A and B are shown apart, each in its own frame.
Chain A
Amino acid sequence: MDWTLYIYKTIFLVIIFLVTLVIAMYSTYGERKVAAFMQDRRGPNRAGLFGLLQPLADGVKMFMKEEIIPTTANKKLFILGPSIAMTTAMLTGVVIPWGGTLTIGGNEFSMQVADLNIGILYVFAMVSIGVYGIMIGGWASNNKYALLGSIRAASQMISYEIAMGMSIIALILTTGSLSLHDIVQQQHGMNWNIFYQPLGFLIFLICAFAETNRAPFDLPECETELIGGYHTEYSSMKLGFYLFAEYINMFVSSAVIATLYFGGYNMPFIDQLGLSPNLVTLLGSLFFFMKILFLIFLFMWIRWTLPRFRYDQLMNLGWKKLMPLAIFNIMATGAYYYFTVLT
């Protein structure tokens, strides 16, 4: 590892950081626009052209708001909550392969910050720590609604992580690697995993909705029952961080879904075009972001279509439907490989 690599990694890390923030920022705008369009409205269109400056205005508003920390709250944990939510949301992007390799002046630069050999496990670890942000924030608020919201968040996350992990096990059976880089490489061309693991994809997608606390699984912040859920007592930019972390999570889980099931940065028919390798890499990254944006749209589309689950329905779905399905998926995949590929 020479120093150019360190510099390159640092710069690339900052770029990924900024891209994540900008996309999350504009997801809030996109969310409002999508919501409006699906309800025959226009959405924000006053701040700047087509309302494109709306996220900036929202950000300024969030920073200017009065900051209230309840006197009965545990102050340290109250501040720690949104920090954890934001940090863990930002950390996941590190292992995602955003593109192939760029060759500049004889040096090869990988468009991935860290190619961990346990990339998927790392993603899972970060997502699991993310729930601590919600739990700590909800508990530290010293408010029954916040506490109920965080309890819900915790139990929901635990329930859906099981089905999610099991859907991943089936995927790993087919890929034979936990490294996200290898998984993407194996999906070259149109060999996308979604064609080999359709059931696993469906389970993973549903669990991803639950993990990011998005409708129809947004019970932790269910307004009708819990006022604001875990962030009832939060104000100013702390609230902003919670809301923002949700959008970052949405972006990152879209990226993970695109990586695992939609071939990551692979484009169909890319070999036949005969382009230079650097151009292929850049096009691949562009295509990857298009996939991510479509998945983010899917997240919003579902949010504005489906009503929220009831809590018992949520548990029913997680434990009694998705988990057996995931186990069945593992068995079917294993049996297939045992009888066809291995023999």
Chain B
Amino acid sequence: MQALTNRSKMVSNKKMTFMERIYLPAIFKGMAITLKHFFRKKVTINYPEQTREFSKVYRGKHVLKRDEEGRERCTACGLCAVACPAEAITMIAAERKPGEENLYREEKYAEVYEINMLRCIFCGDCEEACPKEAIFLTDRIVESEYERLPFIYGKNLLVEPLDPNLRIDISARQTESVLKFKQNKRFAHNK
């Protein structure tokens, strides 16, 4: 049989030699190994002070994007909720009233937009489904809670801040397919 690694050793039932029987050399060998590990660099990351670097395409907490003028991009079409395999997204749509043009980009908007973070599996299907480039997954972490209710995130937690300096960078998630999709004339809604 072919060996999987070249580290395998043949096992035999031969009688142990005297040196092997008194165990001490083997014990010293083992102690040398543990001592070597004693001075080795630790692999632990001190979590709250240090954080592990995420992969570039990490899928964490969602963000509902605003456009350049600070209007919410979401039009409450419900495609994300349909696409969601975990059925984590619910929304209630509302019509934009006159005078609210600076708040909502489209004529229809999501009055309530909730994601249940306990159901969400962070697959990213919602951002793929979104025709308005409104929802993206970011490299932020969903924080732990003591109860279940706070895990249902509403618009207050999902929509990004108005302040241009506090906008959430989603350039890492704007993959090639997203950019290609943007250039499609048929969906020229981003003009």
Binding site for B on A (CB under 8 A): 34, 37-42, 45, 301-302, 304-306
A41 lies within 8 A of B44 (CB)? yes
| B38 partner residues in chain A, CB cutoff 8 A | 34, 37-38
Q: Does B35 contact A (CB under 8 A)?
A: yes
The SS class assigned to the B binding surface is: helix
12 contacts between A and B (CB under 8 A): A37-B38, A38-B37, A40-B42, A40-B44, A41-B43, A42-B44, A42-B46, A45-B46, A302-B27, A302-B31, A305-B27, A305-B30
With contacts A305-B30, A306-B30 known, is A39 near B37, CB below 8 A?
A: yes
* B145, chain A: closest CB distance, angstroms: 22
| B41 partner residues in chain A, CB cutoff 8 A | 40
Cross-interface CB contact of A40 among B27, B30, B40, B46, cutoff 8 Å: B40
Cα separation A304 to B35 with both chains bound (whole Å):
10
| A40 partner residues in chain B, CB cutoff 8 A | 37, 40-44
Task: Map CB proximity to A onto B58-92 as digits: 1 under 8 Å, 0 otherwise.
Answer: 00000000000000000000000000000000000
With contacts A306-B27, A306-B30 known, is A301 near B35, CB below 8 A?
A: yes
With contacts A305-B27, A306-B27 known, is A38 near B42, CB below 8 A?
A: no
- How many residue pairs link A and B with beta carbons under 8 A? The number is 35
* B50, chain A: closest CB distance, angstroms: 12
| A305 partner residues in chain B, CB cutoff 8 A | 27, 30-31, 33-34
* A21, chain B: closest CB distance, angstroms: 27
Look across to chain B and name the residue whose beta carbon is closest to the beta carbon of A298: B31
| A42 partner residues in chain B, CB cutoff 8 A | 42, 44, 46
* A305, chain B: closest CB distance, angstroms: 5
B27 lies within 8 A of A37 (CB)? no
Look across to chain A and name the residue whose beta carbon is closest to the beta carbon of B42: A42
Q: Other CB < 8 Å A-B pairs besides A304-B34, A305-B30, A306-B27, 4 of them?
A: A38-B35, A40-B41, A41-B42, A306-B30
With contacts A305-B27, A306-B27 known, is A38 near B34, CB below 8 A?
A: yes
A37 lies within 8 A of B37 (CB)? yes
A301 lies within 8 A of B34 (CB)? yes
* B9, chain A: closest CB distance, angstroms: 19
The 9 A-B pairs of least Cβ separation, nearest first, read: A305-B34, A38-B34, A305-B30, A42-B44, A37-B38, A305-B31, A38-B37, A42-B42, A40-B43
Cα separation A215 to B44 with both chains bound (whole Å):
26
Cα separation A41 to B40 with both chains bound (whole Å):
10
* A326, chain B: closest CB distance, angstroms: 15
* B81, chain A: closest CB distance, angstroms: 42
Cα separation A154 to B125 with both chains bound (whole Å):
64
